């Protein structure tokens, strides 16, 4: 990595982030040499997910890192206490998303309302130039438990 204009060997610890190397980087497989390293950004069971790719700017400014998701907006305990199981299921059904779950409490803990807006997080990374939006994915089924 370049640090203060000099090449340095570093150990990069990514807490809350994931590796996203740019096109032509020697540590990514040959299949991704022209696109950059693909990064899967999971949304919630009721929102989209994304595939991003690494950029040269991301390599320079973040040591080849980008987000790995949106993060929680509510604790699991807050979600269990504030959200209604049937309302969450109905909202998913209205979006055309099927769900199978082992425990009702998992539904509230992982409800879309329990997380920050993944699209806003991904848009921020894209606009900052540290990763590129490549593909947007829509959920059709959820299995929890």
Active site residue 13: no
> Which 3 state secondary structure label does DSSP give 107?
helix
What pLDDT, in 10s, does the model give residues 38-60?
999 999 989 999 999 999 999 99
Of 13, 24, 25, 68, which one is the catalytic site residue?
A: 68
What is the average pLDDT value for the chain, to the nearest integer?
92
Q: What is the pLDDT of residue 26?
A: 95
pLDDT tens-digit readout, 59-79: 999 999 999 988 999 999 999
Rounded Cα distance between 85 and 104, Å, is 7
Cβ contact 65:58 at 8 Å? yes
Q: Is the pLDDT of residue 145 over 80?
A: no
Q: Which pLDDT value is given to residue 101?
A: 84
């Amino acid at each position: 990595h370049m640090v203060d204009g000099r090449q340095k060997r570093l150990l990069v610890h990514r807490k809350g982030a994931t590796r996203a190397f740019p096109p032509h980087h020697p540590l990514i497989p040959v299949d991704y040499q022209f696109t950059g390293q693909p990064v899967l950004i999971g949304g919630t069971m009721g929102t989209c997910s994304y595939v991003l790719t690494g950029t040269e700017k991301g390599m320079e400014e973040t040591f080849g890192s980008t987000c790995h998701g949106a993060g929680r907006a509510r604790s699991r305990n807050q979600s269990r206490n504030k959200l209604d199981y049937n309302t969450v299921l109905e909202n998913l059904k209205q979006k055309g998303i099927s769900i199978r779950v082992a425990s009702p409490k998992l539904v509230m803990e992982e409800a879309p309302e329990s997380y920050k807006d993944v699209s806003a997080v991904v848009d921020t990374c894209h606009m900052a130039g540290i990763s590129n939006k490549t593909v947007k994915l829509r959920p059709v089924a959820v299995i929890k438990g």
